[in-house]
Amino acid sequence: MNSRRSNWVMIVLQLGLVLIVLRLFFWQVIKSDQLKAVAQNQYNQQQQLSGQRGRIFAADGHLLVGNLVEYRLIGQPHLFSGRPDEVVDRLTEQLGSLLAEQLPASAGGQLSTDQAWRDRAQRELSREGARWVPLLDGLSSADRDRLAALNMSGITFESYSVRSYPEASMAAQVLGFLGNNDQGRPTGYFGVEGALDRELSGESQTVKRSILNVAELVTQSRLADQLNGRDVTLTIRRDVQRLLESKLAAGIDRYGAAAGEAIVLEPATGRILGMATLPGYHPAEYQQTDPELFGNTAVSDLYEPGSTFKVLTLAAGLDSQLLTPDTKCRRCDAPRVIDKYTIRTWNDVYHPGITMTEALAKSDNTAMIFAVEEMGAQTFAEYLRRFRIGQEVLADIQEDSDTPLPKSFGPVELATASFGQGIATTSLQMVRAFAAIANGGLMVQPKLVDSVSEYGSSRGRQTPVVELGRVISTQTADQLTAMMVNAAQYGEAQWTAADTYLVAGKTGTSQVAVEGGYDSDRTITSFIGFTPPQQPAFLLFVKLNEPQSSPWAAETAAPLWYRIADDLRLLLDAPPE
């Protein structure tokens, strides 16, 4: 009996041993690959590496746009130790005034900000199957540390990068802003952020890493640095930009204008030292900003330049040798009747036999009509193309593009275009054209980007000075410069001209075009000039939209120009006369 029992025990043990061997074979041979994968998953993690977006610097190396790490408060309801409403109540107590800072007021003001947030957070956390619920953005590292110290189970944080603006709203329309596209990817819009989005954008890459391999972690940290976008240094000088924005804001207020622009450029290099457009906005608050303010109006908005365009009309006549500065107008003794239209001078005063130099100073419309009639529409149009009127100026600002230029001019269109009405351009196109005159007839490509470098590198790829070709002869440029000096000294704005330095400049006043004609009560005033007249240190353009104190540039844009120029000469160390 005992022997039989022993046999059964041996059989059972042997069967058990066989089963163990089979089980080991199953796991170690048949399931070995799966077990290896499970083990690797415990120690290996898949991670999305994302590079930082490139930064934007001013010409002096000061940061204009950088990156800042913020934190998102996350709730994980399945890990809560209490009910969602208890967690939300405790968070609300700790967040306090932060809710009012980060969240907009509730619609109609019916709920306090904290109550509205509490209701939304509790609703989201109580959803069936909720496991990862974003609760609040915009937390600083100090906010995160304070909340983390509460040791609340199921509460965690997610870091993300946002753009920071050390100079606040300075040069907002030059810089643009960073938003999200339709797929939720961070994307630059407007200005430099939009135009150079590919240069600035960091790349993303998914990698696997072992939490036990320290060397691998270091390698991946270096890889993340290689994914960073490129840094961009602009030609914008902070001191010049600050001056333009301050003086322009004061001018808009003083003259009751709706908006304004001011641009400073070095004619010999094309470097844009400052570009102000007001009203402005804060790029960090673009979501609460009227979208009408996003665009840089100096490149995006068409306007009829008025009498500043007369300089280009005379440039065509002088360079084609069909006119001279002393050519006398033979049809300037009365208003001109062309087709069914009567065209008058701005003050309805006429000067028989006026010379072209005198006509520019007196801003005589009838003399400009005489000038284009002498040269013909074909010559006039050819010189507008040479001056690149209608062509894009900057590839470094997203909203810049070609603008329409008439393919042909009828008698009426030719007459009005001669004095800057019925023809549209942009402020920066006018700056580029006048800079060619200031540079002895040689046009240089305006530039806003000084260099591009790898993220964090002090050595960058310089943007070269690009010559676009000779527009007019040196002799014509010298003649026009002398005529503009005469216009500044003896024209309608002579009362505001500087006593201590010479300026080659011209005023421009144009009526605002509306459907079917012009609004006689609304004007755009401008003044464009450079100093010193020979080898100028800078060219300055000022424009005011719809000033209320006076409709004339001589009483609005011109005095503002001189107030800015007085300080610019000191900043840029302009040579004395």
Residue-wise pLDDT for 180-209, tens only, equals 998 888 999 999 999 999 999 988 665 555
Least reliable range by pLDDT among 148-152, 214-218, 305-309: 214-218
Return the pLDDT at 406: 84
Integer Cα distance of 346 and 349 in angstroms = 8
Provide the percentage of residues in the chain whose pLDDT is more than 70.
86
**Cβ proximity of 293 and 177 under 8 Å:** no
Integer Cα distance of 254 and 543 in angstroms = 14
- Is the Cα dihedral 382, 384, 385, 387 positive or negative? positive
**Left if phi > 0, otherwise alpha if psi is -120 to 50, otherwise beta: which for 567?**
alpha
Return the pLDDT at 114: 76
Least reliable range by pLDDT among 45-54, 92-101, 265-274, 419-428: 45-54
Integer Cα distance of 450 and 537 in angstroms = 18
DSSP single-letter state for residue 30: I
* Tokens 């746009």 belong to residue: 65
Report the 10 Å Cβ neighbour count for 197.
20
Return the pLDDT at 260: 98
Q: Is the pLDDT of residue 37 over 60?
A: no
Return the pLDDT at 527: 98
Predicted TM-score of the model (pTM):
0.86
Task: Tell me what the mean pLDDT of segment 218-226 comes to.
Answer: 57
Q: Is the pLDDT of residue 511 over 60?
A: yes
Q: Is the pLDDT of residue 218 over 60?
A: no
User: Which pLDDT tens digit goes with each residue over 108-147?
Assistant: 444 566 788 888 999 999 998 888 899 998 898 999 999 9
Provide the percentage of residues in the chain whose pLDDT is more than 90.
66
Q: What share of the chain is helix, strand, coil (3-state, %, to 5)?
A: 40, 25, 35
Q: Which helix (H) or strand (E) holds 136?
A: strand 133-139
Return the pLDDT at 102: 66
E strands, 446-551, in order? 449-453, 460-462, 467-470, 504-514, 517-531, 538-545
Give the Å distances, CA to CA, from 7 to 3, 15, 19, 21.
6, 12, 18, 21
Return the pLDDT at 205: 64
Integer Cα distance of 526 and 559 in angstroms = 10
For residue 516, which amino acid is it?
A: G
Integer Cα distance of 77 and 124 in angstroms = 10
Q: Is the pLDDT of residue 563 over 80?
A: yes
Say if residue 30 is exposed, middle or buried (CB neighbours under 10 Å; 0-12, 13-18, 19+).
exposed
User: Which pLDDT tens digit goes with each residue over 278-337?
Assistant: 999 999 999 999 999 999 999 999 999 999 999 999 999 999 999 999 999 999 999 999
Per-residue pLDDT band at 495 (split at 50, 70, 90): very high
Integer Cα distance of 463 and 466 in angstroms = 9
Report the 10 Å Cβ neighbour count for 218.
10
Per DSSP, what are the bridge partners of residue 341?
Answer: 338
Return the pLDDT at 94: 85
Q: Is the pLDDT of residue 152 over 80?
A: yes
**Cβ proximity of 304 and 421 under 8 Å:** yes
Return the pLDDT at 27: 62
* Tokens 């500087």 belong to residue: 498
Q: Which residues contact 539 (CB under 8 A, 6 or more apart)?
A: 264, 265, 266, 267, 431, 434, 435, 438, 528, 529, 530
**Cβ proximity of 310 and 418 under 8 Å:** yes
Return the pLDDT at 38: 52
* CA neighbor of 563 nearest in space, from 262, 305, 171, 297: 262
Domains of the chain are: 67-160 (3.30.70.2110), 238-571 (3.40.710.10)
Q: Is the pLDDT of residue 348 over 50?
A: yes
Task: Tell me what the mean pLDDT of segment 351-374 comes to.
Answer: 98
